[in-house]
Amino acid sequence: MPYTVPAVTRAVLGRVESLTTGLNARISLIAVHSVPYATTFGCPTSTHAFLVEQLLELSSECRLPVNAQVILARSRDEGLQFALKPGSTVLLGSRRRRWRTTEERLARKLASDGNKVVLVYVD
């Protein structure tokens, strides 16, 4: 499950138990820290600590075990390709908008890469 916006991720994690009932599902919460090409490949300690703290806080609110990961990559797409096994089922949350959201574009990209994507709309 890619980490996008804290409120949306929290809402999806609240629904994950009902969505995975009867499945042998492992839940991974993945945050990709994008590092521009013009900079050296690294992450400031404060930024990494902040991301880890947010992921741990969100995962502690879920009643199921959640594996939280922070991935460093040059782009979000590259980081998710690294983190997800081919054919993974990806749970992704989005708010309803009249235009296509970033999460909907990400869902389309992940599906075109061969993953199974469940897009959950939250209010």
Mean pLDDT of 2-10: 87
Domain assignment of residue 102, given as a range: 6-122
Q: Is residue 1 part of a domain?
A: no
pTM for the full predicted model: 0.81
Q: Is residue 28 part of a domain?
A: yes
Which CATH number covers residue 33? 3.40.50
Query: Coil, helix or strand for 122?
Result: strand
Please report the pLDDT score of residue 108 as a whole number. Answer: 93
Q: Is residue 111 part of a domain?
A: yes
86, exposed or middle or buried, with CB in 10 Å at 0-12, 13-18, 19+?
exposed
Contact 119, 20 (CB under 8 A): no
Q: Is residue 73 part of a domain?
A: yes
In this predicted structure, which of 18-27, 63-72, 91-100 has the lowest mean pLDDT?
18-27
**Using CA atoms, how far apart are residues 121 and 17, in angstroms rounded to an integer?**
16
Please report the pLDDT score of residue 60 as a whole number. Answer: 87
Q: Residue 51's pLDDT band (boundaries 50, 70, 90)? A: confident
Query: Coil, helix or strand for 62?
Result: coil
| Number of domain units in the chain | 1
**Using CA atoms, how far apart are residues 49 and 102, in angstroms rounded to an integer?**
25
Query: Coil, helix or strand for 14?
Result: helix
User: Rounded mean pLDDT of the chain?
Assistant: 86
Q: Is residue 13 part of a domain?
A: yes
**Using CA atoms, how far apart are residues 89 and 87, in angstroms rounded to an integer?**
7
Is 90 exceeded by the pLDDT of residue 115? yes
Mean pLDDT of 54-79: 88
Is 90 exceeded by the pLDDT of residue 123? no
Left (φ > 0), alpha (ψ -120 to 50) or beta: where does 10 sit?
Answer: alpha
